[in-house]
Amino acid sequence: MQNIQAAQRLEEVASILEQQRANPFRVRAYRQAAATVRRLPVPLIQLWREGGDAALRELPGVGDRLAVSLRMLATTGRLPMLDRLRGIIDPAAILASVPGVGRTLARRLHRDLGIETLEDLEAAAHDGRLKDVEGIGAKKIAGIIDTLSARLGRIPGTREPETTPPPVAELLEVDREYRGKAARGALPTIAPRRFNAAKESWLPVLHTERADRHYTALFSNTARAHELGKTHDWVVIYCDRGRNEHQFTVVTAPQGLLAGKRVVRGREDECAEFYSSRNASIGSR
In a domain, 112, yes or no: yes
Q: What is the DSSP string of 85-115?
A: HHT---HHHHHHTSTTTHHHHHHHHHHHH--
End-to-end CA distance of the chain: 60
DSSP structural state of residue 137: -
Amino acid at 10: L
Please spell the DSSP secondary structure of 232-262, one letter per residue: TT-EEEEEEETTEEEEEEEEE--SSTTTTSE
Q: Which domain holds residue 111?
A: 91-151
Q: Are residues 140 and 69 in the same domain?
A: no
Residues 70 and 102 grouped into a single domain: no
Q: Given the DSSP bridges, would you call strands 244-252 and 213-219 parallel, antiparallel or unpaired?
A: unpaired
- pTM (predicted TM-score): 0.71
**3-state percent helix, strand, coil for the chain, nearest multiple of 5:** 55, 15, 35
In a domain, 44, yes or no: yes
One pLDDT digit (tens) per residue for the chain, 285 residues = 789 999 999 999 999 889 888 889 989 999 999 999 999 999 999 999 999 889 999 999 898 889 888 988 888 787 878 877 776 566 677 778 788 888 888 888 877 777 777 777 887 888 888 887 887 888 888 888 888 776 665 545 444 544 678 999 999 999 999 999 999 999 999 888 778 888 888 999 999 999 888 999 999 988 888 889 999 999 999 988 766 678 899 999 999 889 999 999 989 999 999 999 887 665 555
* 123 is a domain residue: yes
Phi, psi at 209, each rounded to 5° = -135, 150
Closest CA to 15 of 76, 90, 82: 82
Please report whether residue 19 resides in a domain: yes
* Domain C-terminal end among 34, 63, 86: 86
Question: How does 211-238 read in b/e, with b if 16+ C-beta sit within 10 Å?
Answer: eeebbbbbbbbbbebeeeebbebbbbbb
Supply the CATH number for residue 128's domain.
Answer: 1.10.150.20
